[in-house]
Structures are given as C-alpha cells and as structure tokens.
Structure 1
C-alpha cells in the first residue's frame, strides 16, 4: 500500500478524532481536540499522519521533553490494520525523535490491552519496572 507520512494538517483534526474513537483511544476525561491542538502548536511535539491517497489512514502523536521521547495515540484505520502501517508509524515517530537526539522512547499502554502490548513487544519494546504516577492539574 502506498502511504505518505507527514504532519497532520489542521483540516484533518476531525478525521483524526474519528480515527482515535474508532481505535478505542478516546477517553471521556481527555479532550482529543485540545490534545491535538497542543501537539500541533508545541515546538517539541507533532502528530504524524499516514495518508493512503486522500484518506487519513493512521496517526501517531510524538513529543520530546528534553530527556525522553514519548508516543501517544497510535491509531490505524480498522480496515487497514495488519498491513504493517502501525509499525511504519512507530518507525516514523522514532525517526522524528532521533532527529532531535532523543536517547530513549517511552509509551503508555493500558495493562489490559494484550493485543497492543504484543504489537509493541514485536517491535522490540520491553516492559519497564517503573510505576506510572499521575496527578491531574486542571
């Protein structure tokens, strides 16, 4: 499949939100529109988008905090899954971070999501002994 991977255009925000919902990434406590806008305007983040022709086929949000790179919201259209697109998106995110000299990449996967854990493990990612803690600030 011919794919072109580049930055998500502002005109594709709604299509991206729809893709995230289809992929089961949306949670009611996260505003996907705000997440997208913040990633697109930040100097250390972006959303990479894969296009199959005019169609938005996949996205991945990537960011760099100066110490570690992070990826979020990897989503591939359901009817295009299992064609290597997810792996290509992860590689594109890794390349984006490597261009910024990020020495390491972290990502979060819900513990019950065995299929996604298996996907990342097949790409060489390993579980960490770190425990995620969080505090909501707003």
Structure 2
C-alpha cells in the first residue's frame, strides 16, 4: 500500500497526457462521451483550472481536475490507480484541490457524483462533503470543439 506522504502532487505536464488518460480509464472515471485529452486541454487553457497529478516513484498514481467559475470551486476526475485505492491518495488529492481553490480565495467546493455510485458517495461523505439535495441540469450547447 502506498503512503500518501510519498505522493508528490503537481500540475499536469504535457508528457503526462497518456499516463493520465490511462489512469482515468483504469480507475473508471473516464466516460465514452468525454474526450479526456480535450478535457485536459480545456482545463489547462487558462488560470481558472488545472489537473493535479499525484506521482509515486515517478509514476502517476492519482489525479484531480480542479477549477473555479468565479463563485464556486469544482472538482472532477478524482482518480486513484485501482491497486492503490483505500491508501489515502484520494484524500490527499482532494486536500490538494481544496488548497488550490483556497489559494485563489474560493471558499466553497462542489462536485458531481452519479446517483448509483455508493462508493464515491461514501468517500466524499467521509471527507465532510454533503449531499445538497439539488438537481443538476445540463444542456449541450456546442458540439465537441
């Protein structure tokens, strides 16, 4: 089991793309309708978002995409390599995402969890996140550009 103290957290680099997208698929956070490379590129376009990677012994073991919209912070693609899950790396990535937002003056962080993902719900509840009993609406306004 990995020690979260050994985890080196940093912003994603260009040469991390393949390793990160592979991790997302293995961890089950990638969805067929989302292009991971496009999502990463979009997150890296400006100063309002990034992808944080957690490396162990030079290999990417965990990620968290974090950003802010001027009002709230959001986190996506929280992933830990399957063989390293339940070892504190997810908790470390969430703390790093919270720190990233806190450094920008953002005081509230939100995330989306699929209704059937009990494991993720339990993880976030243990970290102090609460179900806000709200409904998220979505409308696709532009084809994947």
Which residues of 2 match residues 31-46 of structure 1 at below 5 A?
A: 31-46=35-50
TM-score by length of 1: 0.97
**Once the two structures are superposed, what CA deviation does each residue of 1:10-60 show, in whole Å capped at 9, x if it has no partner?**
100111110010111111111110000111122100010000011101000
2:44 aligned counterpart, secondary structure: helix
Paired position in structure 2 for 1:56: 60
CA shift for structure 1 position 62: 0.1
Q: Deviations over 1:56-98 (max 9, x none)?
A: 0100000010100000000000111111000000000000000
Counterpart Cα distance in 1 of 2:21 and 2:34: 11
Where structure 2 has 5 or more consecutive residues not aligned to the other structure, the ranges are none
1:100 aligns with one of 96, 99, 104: 104
Distance 2:26 2:67 in 1: 23
Asked if 1:4 corresponds to 2:8, the answer is yes
- Name the structure 1 match of 2:134: 130
Number of residue equivalences: 138
Matched, 1:76 2:73: no
Find the residue that maps to 1:41 and give its secondary structure: coil
Please state whether the residue corresponding to 1:56 is helix, strand or coil.
strand
In the TM superposition, structure 1's runs of 4+ consecutive aligned residues that sit over 6 Å from their partners are: none
Q: After TM superposition, give the deviation of residue 129 of structure 1 in Å.
A: 2.0
| Structure 1 unaligned regions, length at least 5 | none
